Structure 1
């Protein structure tokens, strides 16, 4: 069995957990993935089997799309809800216009300092290994591109994509609390850390922030509409049908997407089928 399975990674699983499970189900020794997702995140995770693993590098440079939720007023050590609270600011609430103003500086080409909780290596050590020991080191800012950064809640645009609209509708609007939740959609280049983007926006607003939800809706050229849940993958494997959902790399590489396919989940007046 050789090719690519597009997985909708469940929350709580590491990307390695998904690879290990598919390796066990497929009985294929060589299995890998492109584009690591944090355990808290869900969504598109391309998994490569057999000789297709040689093609992983060809898929790493593609743009990504995410639906994200952040909580203003609470900072954590990891930048997401899995971390420990390190600072709080209560009672601050912002209008959609104020949040939109904070978004402006992050559109286009920007410099982003990678978070300490990341797999980037400095002097042979992964940053998250140092962070777990309480060690913070200087990191060099990297150039990334934010193609789109669009506010959904509060007072933002209604998603034009039925897929994104459905995802947002599944995220209940919380009752009024000391901490405000903000939902947005972002399309970005490889190497963009959404956790860090959220932390930086929170700092600009003067209250701090952390990521509470993240769905990768798109990982060029793969869309969330193509992705299979782990439950479906397990069922297919049990019935000897896993090979029926494996995509051949050459089928993907010979397909040149146009701009509308690159960003199928735009918030505007809704092109799109769902993706990433």
Structure 2
């Protein structure tokens, strides 16, 4: 049995279709022999693409990644709705389809740009009275769900045919693409479900930096230590934030959770370093006071 290791870092995993996000997480954890790991922002089993996996101290960045914007490439089948909103489900309704041109679809997309209300699907991990909605849905139950505010920044049409629609979407956290597809189809007088869904980016992380489980397994067999080259340091999540550097006395205070007085005339959230070593995030308040918010023990073995 491999000894579990305290590794700290962020892995941009390209999840393959047919597995849950948790199965992908457990596989990655096993390959790295990681003691602690978590993922941010579940992907449906059908979906592929970016699933950030956080190891060790990097699990502390999960809440910040969950808040990030996402981009997806979406393929929808028009004229059919399913109980799950994707092709993993059962067809529950067939509807006629009218031939539409690119101009029509682009105009339809415009209705969904900006801050909109979206009702989450029954097949989702949201909870009602302590139970996941998908657990209720599998029993054939449907309950009222409150609409939630989401933001659709951009929808670009890639291609379309009579019964297919392929587009790219940039959206806020909490957006259900299956529901967006159903709502777009409804606006066009028909039904639809997702047949392919690929998440291309999370926040400022791009698809070119992803790797998949098969590649990781191959690398692990050849040279386990080189797996580290796939891990990003946790502070990359906060790269858009300003940084402050503390002296040894200031750092000791920070690590003990105490407010530190510094010379920086900035306000808001900051990355905290001693020389080039990252130690956490803090909030700069009035009168040059740095309040510790999250401390990272990256040298923990």
TM-score of the two chains, using structure 2 as the length reference: 0.75
Query: For the residues of structure 1 that align with 2:158 and 2:58, how far apart are their CA atoms?
Result: 37
Q: Which residue of 2 aligns with 1:157?
A: none
Q: Which consecutive residues of structure 1, in runs of 5 or more, have no partner in the other structure?
A: 155-175, 258-276
Counterpart contact for 1:113–1:140, Cα < 8 Å: yes
Query: What are the within-5 Å matches in structure 2 for residues 119-130 of structure 1?
Result: 119-130=125-136
1:116 counterpart = 2:101: no
Q: Which residue of 1 aligns with 2:234?
A: 249
Q: Which residue of 2 aligns with 1:75?
A: 81
Query: For the residues of structure 1 that align with 2:204 and 2:97, how far apart are their CA atoms?
Result: 42
Matched positions, count: 234
Query: What are the within-5 Å matches in structure 2 for residues 77-116 of structure 1?
Result: 77-116=83-122
Query: For the residues of structure 2 that align with 1:91 and 1:121, how far apart are their CA atoms?
Result: 35
* Displacement after TM superposition at 1:29 (Å): 2.2
| 2:111 aligned counterpart, secondary structure | helix
| 1:222 aligned counterpart, secondary structure | coil
What RMSD, in angstroms, separates the aligned Cα atoms of the two structures? 1.5
1:139 counterpart = 2:145: yes
* Runs of 4+ in structure 1 over 4 Å off: none
Q: Which residue of 1 aligns with 2:200?
A: 217
TM-score of the two chains, using structure 1 as the length reference: 0.81
Query: For the residues of structure 1 that align with 2:231 and 2:116, how far apart are their CA atoms?
Result: 37
Distance 1:235 1:256, change over 3 A: farther
Q: Which residue of 2 aligns with 1:11?
A: 17
* Displacement after TM superposition at 1:256 (Å): 5.2
| 1:185 aligned counterpart, secondary structure | strand
Q: Which consecutive residues of structure 2, in runs of 5 or more, have no partner in the other structure?
A: 1-6, 243-301
Query: What are the within-5 Å matches in structure 2 for residues 23-34 of structure 1?
Result: 23-34=29-40
Query: For the residues of structure 1 that align with 2:191 and 2:96, how far apart are their CA atoms?
Result: 10
* Displacement after TM superposition at 1:222 (Å): 1.2
| 2:42 aligned counterpart, secondary structure | coil
**Higher relative contact order by CA 8 Å / sep ≥ 6: 1 or 2?**
1
1:51 counterpart = 2:36: no
Q: Which residue of 2 aligns with 1:61?
A: 67
Counterpart contact for 1:74–1:208, Cα < 8 Å: yes
Aligned mate of 1:22, from 5, 24, 28: 28
Counterpart contact for 1:5–1:47, Cα < 8 Å: yes
1:193 counterpart = 2:199: no
Q: Which residue of 2 aligns with 1:226?
A: 209
